[in-house]
């Protein structure tokens, strides 16, 4: 045991690895690879000892310092199943501790061991869902604090969070804007994985074992799951954006898959909730795909058309007529939200006619799509409007005049900010630009190294040499239709 413990504690060479040593990437890389080689031999030749003395080893090791050794012991105790000879509560406690504190720089060298441990957690095989989601989300962001790289672990997280209704802990990950995907062109495993200046796709790849491959269907499934989680939080703007990414996903020959049709149907309903009408599709959503969406989603489009009219009875009847369809599609809850929001959007529409209108008139001019009737009491209208004001859906105020008449006054939308608000917004924009700078540089480097861009530049040089420049031939018209990331073409 002592000899194994000595080997496990051998890296890093000093308990407190100095910043100078950590910044020396060449030295760090040599030492960590040497240590990984020793760990591989221990796992192969002394697996029984790792299991027998696993708890003792984990007590000796610091998960934040001896991360690779800690992971090697944990992996042995957990896979292919949790060791029966060791108390499960001890293993699970150490597992949580490791994933919350591991050194991300070291674990870039963990190959598939880290991914397999995340897979166990993400499949809900060992931890309660509420704990598993929190731990998995934290572990994902430790490996990539920017959250800009989609990985196979993201898919596990989204499925686990949505299926177990533990959404809040997952928001720290799904709120991040995805920019990079596994298998992107022009990326090969770097010579120095430990280089902390590397962009996420330069070290998180199948070759390093830190993510599994992702098919286009998995990418769309992730966005669909994210949208459904946002719907459960009634965050219609984020749900709309996530669904739009699926609806506008580039495909060959303008086709659309089942998951895209499912997303379109939800997108129609969410657009009603967010905008009060059917939203406009992205410009790069091809006409062929859009026609297919219209054919497959006719019942939803019919609801959208009626939603913008004053005929609450017809909307109610249309929704009730296709109740089985909504249920089969898993959209009954969203449809109820649509019916509940109908009268609210009719009230908002009154701003086009009035600057101030009494609650009595509002009650008489608008109907509930849930009942098809006007509300029975003025108090119900007042409660409804107050809810709209509080939620930010309506910019207005309820006032009572000297005659006792209660009215809604629509307030103009103001963009004028206080000095403190302006400074806060400016600071937020500056921070966002700072976060985007590494992503911009990475994207610029990738574009500059792409075959399509090089071909374009060669053509431009030849054209300039002939003095036959054509200003209408921009780069977008020169690149092949093939998508640079996934080998697909735009729909339509």
Give the model confidence (pLDDT) of 378-428 as tens digits: 999 999 999 999 999 999 999 998 888 999 999 987 655 567 766 777 777
* Chain-centroid distance, C-alpha 73: 32
Judged by average pLDDT, the poorest of 19-33, 51-65, 334-348 is 19-33
The percent of residues in the chain predicted with pLDDT above 90, rounded, is 69
Predicted TM-score (pTM) of this structure: 0.83
Residue 468 above 50 pLDDT? no
Of the two residues 331 and 420, the one the predictor is more confident about is 331
Distance CA(221)–CA(292), nearest Å, equals 19
Report residue 278 as tokens: 């059917």
Q: 360, 396, 397: which is closest to 380 by C-alpha? A: 360
Give the model confidence (pLDDT) of 115-172 as tens digits: 999 999 999 878 999 999 999 999 999 999 999 999 999 999 999 999 999 999 999 9
Distance CA(168)–CA(166), nearest Å, equals 6
* Adjacency order of strands within the sheet including 356-358: 356-358, 406-410, 396-400
Instruction: Tell me the residue ranges of DSSP E strands in 226-298.
Output: none
- Residue 437: pLDDT band (50, 70, 90) is low
Distance CA(450)–CA(443), nearest Å, equals 11
- Provide the pLDDT for residue 469: 43
Distance CA(434)–CA(429), nearest Å, equals 9
Residue 323 above 80 pLDDT? yes
Q: What is the DSSP string of 234-254?
A: T-HHHHHHHHHHHHT---GGG
Q: 261, 205, 270, 195: which is closest to 232 by C-alpha? A: 270
Distance CA(9)–CA(61), nearest Å, equals 7
């Amino acid at each position: 045991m002592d000899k194994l413990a000595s080997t496990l504690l051998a890296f890093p060479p000093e308990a407190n690895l100095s910043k100078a040593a950590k910044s020396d990437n060449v030295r760090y890389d040599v030492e960590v690879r040497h240590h990984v080689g020793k760990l591989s031999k221990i796992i192969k030749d002394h697996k029984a000892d790792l299991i027998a003395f696993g708890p003792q080893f984990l007590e000796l090791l610091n998960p934040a310092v001896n991360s690779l050794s800690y992971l090697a012991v944990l992996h042995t105790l957990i896979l292919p199943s949790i060791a029966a000879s060791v108390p499960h509560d001890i293993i699970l406690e150490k597992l949580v501790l490791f994933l919350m504190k591991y050194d991300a720089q070291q674990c870039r060298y963990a190959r598939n061991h880290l991914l397999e441990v995340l897979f166990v957690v993400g499949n809900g095989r060992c931890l309660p869902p509420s704990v598993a989601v929190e731990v998995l989300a934290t572990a994902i962001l430790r490996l990539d604090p920017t959250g800009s790289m989609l990985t196979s672990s993201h898919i596990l997280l989204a499925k686990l969070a949505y299926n177990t209704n533990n959404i809040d802990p997952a928001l720290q990950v799904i709120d991040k804007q995805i920019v990079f995907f596994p298998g992107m062109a022009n990326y090969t495993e770097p010579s120095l994985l430990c280089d902390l200046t590397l962009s996420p796709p330069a070290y998180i790849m199948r070759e390093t074992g830190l993510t599994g491959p992702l098919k286009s269907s998995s990418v769309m499934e992730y966005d669909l799951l994210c949208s459904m989680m946002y719907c459960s939080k009634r965050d219609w703007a984020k749900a709309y954006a996530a669904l739009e990414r699926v609806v506008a996903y580039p495909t060959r020959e303008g086709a659309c898959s089942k998951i895209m049709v499912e997303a379109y149907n939800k997108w129609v309903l969410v657009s009603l909730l967010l905008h009060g009408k059917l939203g406009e599709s992205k410009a790069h959503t091809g006409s062929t795909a859009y026609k297919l969406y219209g054919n497959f989603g006719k019942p939803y489009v019919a609801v959208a058309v009626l939603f913008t009219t004053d005929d609450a009875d017809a909307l109610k009847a249309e929704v009730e007529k296709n109740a089985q369809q909504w249920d089969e599609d898993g959209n009954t809850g969203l449809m109820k939200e649509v019916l509940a929001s109908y009268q609210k959007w009719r009230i908002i529409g009154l701003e086009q006619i009035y600057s101030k209108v009494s609650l009595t008139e509002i009650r008489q001019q608008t109907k509930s799509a849930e009942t098809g009737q006007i509300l029975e009491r003025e108090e119900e209208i007042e409660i409804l409007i107050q809810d709209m004001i509080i939620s930010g859906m309506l910019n207005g105020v309820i006032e009572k005049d000297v005659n006792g008449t209660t009215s809604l006054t629509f307030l103009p939308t103001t963009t004028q900010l206080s000095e403190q608000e302006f400074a806060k917004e400016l600071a937020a924009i500056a921070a966002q630009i700072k976060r985007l700078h590494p992503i911009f540089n990475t994207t610029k480097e990738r574009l500059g190294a792409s075959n399509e861009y090089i071909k374009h530049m060669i053509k431009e040089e030849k054209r300039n040499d002939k003095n036959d420049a054509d200003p209408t031939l921009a780069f977008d018209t020169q690149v092949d239709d093939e998508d640079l990331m996934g080998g697909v073409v735009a729909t339509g």
